[in-house]
Amino acid sequence: MRRPFIILAVAALLLGATTFVAQAAGRPPAAGAAAAASADTYAWKNVRIDGGGFVPGLVFNRTEKNLIYARTDIGGAYRWNQAGQNWVPLLDWVGQDDWGYNGVLSIATDPVAPDRVYAAVGMYTNGWDPNNGAILRSTDRGATWQITRLPFKNGGNMPGRGMGERLAVDPHDNSHVFFAAEGGNGLWRSTDHGVTWAKVTAFPNAGNYVQDPDDTNGYLSQNQGLTWVTFDDVTRDVYVGVADKANPVYRSTDGGVTWSRIAGQPTGYLAHKGVLDSVNHHLYVATSDTGGPYDGGKGQVARYDTVTGEWTDVSPVKLSAGDELYFGYSGLTVDRQRPGTLVAATQISWWPDAILFRSTDSGATWKRIWDWAGYPSRSKRYTMDISANPWLDFNTDPQPPEATPKLGWMNESVEIDPLDSDRMLYGTGATVYGTTQLTNWDGDTTFTIRPMAKGLEETAVLDLASPPSGAPLVSALGDIGGFHHADLDAVPPAFHDAPSLGSNTGLDFAELNPAVFVRVGNADAAPHIGVSSDGGRNWYAGQEPAGVTGGGSVAVSADANAVVWAPAGADVHYSTTRGGSWTRSTGLPAGAKVESDRVDPKTFYGYASGRFYVSTDGGATFAASAAAMPSTGRVNFHAVPGRAGDVWLAGGTGLLHSTDAGATFAAVAGVGSGVNVAFGKAAPGAAYPAVFLVGTAGGVAGVFRSDDGGSSWVRINDDAHRYGNAGDALAGDPRVYGRVYLGTNGRGILYADRLGGTSTPSPSPSTSSPSPSPSSSTPAPATGCAATYRVTGSWQGGFQGEVTVRNSGTAATRTWAVGWNFTAGQTLSQVWSATGGQTGTAVSVRDAGWNGAVAPNATATFGFIASWTGGNPVPAPITCAATS
């Protein structure tokens, strides 16, 4: 779910199980990028959470099965991968300069030429996004894109973003594409497959609905404009929704040349969706009294007979029901395999749950997905299986009639597969849900709904911590708080709770006592702080100073005996009782960013308004440094583990380094600007920790690593994988050389490993029972070994894959080996987290030693790069053998 606090904090925030290879060395440097840093080849993956944000749009191609797109409000666009049952990100190439392109207002897939897809992008229509919007077009299903910039802004994260789709391809002439714009910008059309666009001057109404005309920041005061475009598959009729409660629907009968308001239409509400049953000649319109997505208290579902011109109110719950109608309608879909069958969803029904309605007689009658069975009991036609994403219970155990998990909220996009009546997907404020048993509804047989969000990572990451022991990563996230990530490739069972702090804005651990963590957040009321003594797995609520309204920034001393907190709504305070009591700090302005020295427990650092501050008495008093600091823009700083007084600060003027606890700073040569800096395990043979930078080095913007204290840098991402507005959350791994964790504002958490292989994680695996050498006699095989192969990324002539080895037996393995045959000419070129290679068509791979031990029901994963020419089918079978 994307709440307004994230919208308002764009300058302070950043930007699914999908892996990509960053190999910048093989790409030409950006124009004018002289003396660019060298590059290292990395594999990047999402730390799995699955979902975590609002999915306002799901779009099926009508002619090709399994071609599905999803759009998000701040996290880009995705395409469904049926083989892996996961989503593939399509806009990771968006960089810092055009970060707003990760707000996707609409998507259209071409029903005539399925390789073509279009996206209307841009995040805000007010000043938060400095750029105008754009229409992106692709002829390879989103693998690559071309850009047409618009003369106005788009609002992928503005009110009304769930209405649509605003983009549509004319099925009668697919060179014609229409775009229904917001902001009073009217209707636009392209006649050359999206290359150029012109305003349709004949369209008579640009919309007039404004949620709050008195909103001074421009977020709620924009005209929500036009809301959707729908083509009739049989005639040349085109329908357009307008955010005008008196004139919500217009029609053209000549392919968009002339337009008129449809007579007799229902008024008083906004038309969120307009879908057409071309067989029965019915246009269905779902309306609500607001543009959503967070609200909506009344509305209708109306049916228009496109032949007779008759309108009929077919609402599942009608306005005449009075208080029984406490929601508007938005999600709306027709079954194209079974004309006359449709599903409608409540726009917002927070309590006790969302409601979906199904009709098989063109809206004459409806069945609810759940019914009252004597209050507070409910009877349900469905079951929820969230075992893949267990955190979707939101750590709740409500009393009836509420239940957990919920069907969702903000159900703006509900879509029946146009080629499969049994499959339905729908987006919520937190995930994508789906079923493949939808027609069970008609026979009153229970059907199962499951999350379908693997690979779709849409969290806003506010802070990251990778301690030297315990879980490799602990996170602070917008909306869903954050997680204790014991396994980077597995969805955690629950997000931070007890206390639940809402959006967690910061966290820290004691460097010399890393079991102690503190996190802070923007809960609506106290508490705003939580403390952990077991490495961030479990938490208890701390006390807080008077006046605190939000999380702000927090730091823990190296020995865990002091905490400094700069909360929202109050002055900076320090505690020597781990949050049990607080004393006001002096000398450091409210709202400062705070960090601790990672060696000296008495030293803390702060930054505020272009000044750097230092405390040497545990946070009681701070003094301003005379060192020059950047005064505007994004500024982040961290202290180096194991080195007292060693501090690095990244900002718009570059990268600064202090070795005297902030008394003086020296500019790091070659770094033109910085967003953030972090530290990880030193390179083999190196004395200084690896330094990671999000910024510009050698004239090139990217993510960089230095193994020599900043004297030289290597770029570890590439221009195809920039993640938009990323980097305000950054952490190096102290146990794995080369590994870095990157936070984004909408694409979740990414972690990157060198493709040359990772060093063995510390502490090293036990050597008390070494594995037998290859010449030893073969032990009895372990029972149950299976391997799953999937393609995780591809480019012209090459691809990256991943194989997961699962031990389904009862005894732990000591070694494992996997094999397959490439039958289409693919050639293996690189393997990591395993050893082996290819002979002829046969590929044979075995564990890397350190990952040969796999517990029952556990998995090990290795990756590879290969080339391909004519095709790239998934090989079968994939053999797996293991020893125990």
Q: What is the pLDDT of residues 780-797, one digit of tens each?
A: 334 578 999 988 777 677
pLDDT tens figures, 642-687: 999 999 999 999 999 999 999 999 999 999 999 999 999 999 999 9
- Confidence (pLDDT) at 6: 37
Percent of the chain with pLDDT strictly greater than 70: 92
Q: How far is CA 280 from CA 92, 234, 252, 257, in A?
A: 41, 11, 19, 25
Of 408, 440, 262, 265, nearest to 331 by C-alpha is 408
Cα-Cα-Cα-Cα dihedral of 438, 441, 442, 444, to 10°?
Answer: 150
Is residue 166's pLDDT more than 80?
yes
Which position has the higher pLDDT, 41 or 238? Answer: 238
**Whole-angstrom distance, CA of residue 272 vs CA of residue 274:** 7
CA 520 distance to own-chain centroid: 22
Read off the pLDDT of residues 246-280 as tens digits, 9 standing for 90 and up. Answer: 999 999 999 999 999 999 999 999 999 999 999 99
Tell me what the mean pLDDT of segment 796-822 comes to: 86
Choice among 84-98, 688-702, 789-803 with the minimum mean pLDDT: 789-803
**Range name among 34-38, 143-147, 260-264, 761-765 with the lowest pLDDT average:** 761-765
Residue positions annotated with a catalytic role: 73, 479
31-to-149, 562, 700, 701 alpha-carbon distances in Å: 20, 49, 9, 12
What pLDDT score does 860 carry?
A: 85
> Which amino acid is residue 412, in one-letter code?
E
Residue 283 has pLDDT above 90, yes or no: yes
Residues 482-490, mean pLDDT to the nearest whole number: 98
pLDDT of residue 756: 67
pLDDT, position 2: 46
- CB neighbour burial string for 417-435, b if at least 16 within 10 angstroms, e if fewer: bbbbbebbbbbbbbbbbbb
pLDDT for position 270:
98
Count Cβ atoms below 10 Å from residue 261 Cβ, excluding itself: 16
Average pLDDT, the chain: 91
Checking if the pLDDT of 880 tops 80, the result is yes
Give the pLDDT mean for 751-772: 49
Rounded average pLDDT over 763-782? 30
State residue 37's pLDDT score.
66
**pLDDT (tens digit per residue) in 376-413:** 999 999 999 999 999 999 999 999 999 999 999 999 99
Examine the pLDDT at 774 and tell me if it is beyond 50.
no
Q: Output 13 or 314, whichever has higher pLDDT.
A: 314
Q: What are phi and psi of 100, to 5 degrees?
A: -65, -15
Structure tokens at 486: 């014991």
